[in-house]
Structure 1
């Protein structure tokens, strides 16, 4: 039987020298893209292909000065920020997995300056609560541990205050200026997330249910055309609903990503596609 996170353990020796050599972002690079990614949960650490895809994506970009991430797993209003102190704790918000995953760490540096910048980017009528102890949940630390395994970039998590696409687009727009300062803005979710509808057969064979492939193809087409209105009307227009998203918190972070892009209605660049246990891994970046 394969040991938990064995793929990640094989990955680290080859990844760490590349991570140390990664060129750091400078103003001459211009704004970093904003990105939307599927975060994978602990099984990501057992998926060699997905690990390599995420790390290659990170390596294709200059190393960010900071990372700001909105995850499906922190829904809270008013807007809230995780603890900005160094060695921010992790939130192990999953169950039924091997002990190894609950012992993983990701000790990132102090992010106080990024906390100030995010707070300053919000209007006076949008207060931001700064948590003293709230850590990074698995929608943040799991993919980042793969993409930036040194853990040497300040990371903050921003809560998702609503599911409304228009409000999330507006939130992304407020964060847009941070990209020109070397901050990587991330929306973290899963392009399909119909966990209640995954059968044992699907999970054992990685078969793709029609509701997952249909929703993914619909989203890919709309993203390729920059059709934000269609994406926002997913409850009425997307095939595969509500099976693809019986709850929508894993889909809607993409509107933060699009809003933080220079033009929310511009076509995006798909960086990862394919499926894990029948769920779409589709991820993209917006310029």
Structure 2
């Protein structure tokens, strides 16, 4: 019998889609991380770019398509494909867990993987030899509900399933392209990401779930919630025995690229 080690939980900031075709500090980190992680039996991803207000989508196709859900980028980016298989059996198992929690999931055979899924996974697992299932987040319901989504599937880690939250530790695209940059904007990002780090180290879940009201410059760093909630879902899947910020970088003054490992 094969021994299956309980998998860690990972949060990554996926940044610009150009990370798929351009080398950066973060792309090199993700490539290195993939070589260091134990090969999971499957990967389940909460991505900022599958945000659903009215239902819970779980990808259940055998071969979900690679979705290029962005515009205005070079042609070579749209030619990138990530051919990992889906896992319909695991998708049904996840759906049953949501049903037992009195939630109503939808299994989707035709939902593909957005760039929050395939860009980091392509860097970490370039052989595309690990099946993938994606679960939607819900920014309308806020942090506590998305934390619950993570809790619901936390025991999949005992099966060797790697749970990944893919978003951005900061995400203010309007400021990124602001022709008159906000004064001290990098300091505002650093104060926010420092607060998140401190609360994670302190295992202060209550404050993290209330980050919109407690964190410094929360609205500046996240004008909308969708890129922060994958961290919250990952947090719900973890047991918080070990938390480490395994990567830290800032691109273009305001795009923080922090990554966290929970094990």
TM-score by length of 1: 0.83
Tell me, which stretches of 5 or more residues in structure 1 are unaligned? Answer: 1-25
Of residues 122-131 and 33-42 in structure 1, the stretch that sits farther from structure 2 once superposed is: 122-131
**Pairwise mapping of residues 124-273 of structure 1 onto structure 2 (< 5 A)?**
124=100, 125-162=102-139, 163-199=141-177, 209-263=186-240, 266=241, 268-273=243-248
**Which residue of structure 1 lines up, in the alignment, with residue 13 of structure 2?**
38
Q: Is the Cα contact below 8 Å between 2:57 and 2:107 reproduced in 1?
A: yes
TM-score by length of 2: 0.90
Tell me, which stretches of 5 or more residues in structure 2 are unaligned? Answer: none
Matched positions, count: 255
Q: CA deviation at 1:53?
A: 0.5
**Which residue of structure 2 lines up, in the alignment, with residue 113 of structure 1?**
89
Q: Is the Cα contact below 8 Å between 1:106 and 1:151 reproduced in 2?
A: yes
RMSD: 2.0
Distance 1:61 1:202 in 2: 42
Alpha-carbon displacement from aligned partner over 1:108-142 (angstroms, at most 9, x marks no partner): 12411211221122234212211121100011011
Distance 2:83 2:177 in 1: 37
Distance 2:30 2:105 in 1: 30
Distance 1:188 1:200 in 2: 25
SS at match of 1:95: coil
Q: CA deviation at 1:65?
A: 1.0
Q: Is the Cα contact below 8 Å between 1:226 and 1:267 reproduced in 2?
A: no
**Which residue of structure 2 lines up, in the alignment, with residue 62 of structure 1?**
38
Q: CA deviation at 1:262?
A: 1.9
**Which residue of structure 2 lines up, in the alignment, with residue 12 of structure 1?**
none
Distance 2:97 2:56 in 1: 12
Runs of 4+ in 1 over 4 A off after TM superposition: 199-203
